[in-house]
Amino acid sequence: MVYTFLAGEQPTPDNMNDIFDQTLLTKAAPEAVTSSTALQDDDDLSVALGVGTHLVWLWCHVTGDEAGDVDVRWNFDGTGTILRSSIGPAEAMTDRESCTMVMRGNLFDTEQRYGIDTTGSTLIKEELCVAVSVAGTLTLSWAQGTSNGTATEFTTATRMWVVNVA
């Protein structure tokens, strides 16, 4: 897409989104799961993808009890090829500053468990390359890895950036 600035027009978030065909999703409020390993669709992290190729970056800031951990999985109700990279602390870790990391390629619809450190927000990063042949909605689903009475929470620092590149 070609965007032509009018005389005197300055870049704004809206015209930059038009230029780069991008979407930034953020958490409107913290979202918590307590005592449940049943995957649930995230309240905010869902995006319609049209035919084409999309790059998706997810940064999850998670708090909770170390015994709970967190499971993450993607759902897509369209048709396409999805390549996924999963990066974050390994399950059952107890120190986010010095831990074993998960760094692997996964099927998009496979659950990936990550560890949580109780001393603060733990960062999880997921990256997707989605080649869509039939439009659909991409949604992040998540739950506690192990049922725990202390809430596992995605904070408002969690965000997802989607760019249509082709």
d(CA 158, CA 46): 13
Q: Which residues of 73-84 are buried (b: 16+ CB within 10 A; e: fewer)?
A: bbebebebebeb
Cα 111 to Cα 4, 84, 86, 101, 157, distances in angstroms: 44, 12, 10, 16, 22
> What is the CATH T-level fold of the domain 23-164, as seen in this structure?
Jelly Rolls (2.60.120)
pLDDT of residue 8: 82
Kindly tell me if the per-residue pLDDT of 5 is higher than 80: no
d(CA 57, CA 59): 7
pLDDT band at 15 (very low <50, low <70, confident <90, very high): low
Q: Which of 139, 140, 87 is nearest to 114 (CA)?
A: 87
pTM to 2 decimal places = 0.87
pLDDT of residue 4: 73
Cα 60 to Cα 21, 117, 132, distances in angstroms: 23, 13, 24
- 23 or 20: which carries more pLDDT confidence? 23
Read off the pLDDT of each residue in 137-144 and give the average, rounded to a whole number.
98
Structure tokens at 137: 């909605």
Cα 74 to Cα 67, 118, 139, distances in angstroms: 23, 25, 6
Domains of the chain, by residue range, sit at 23-164
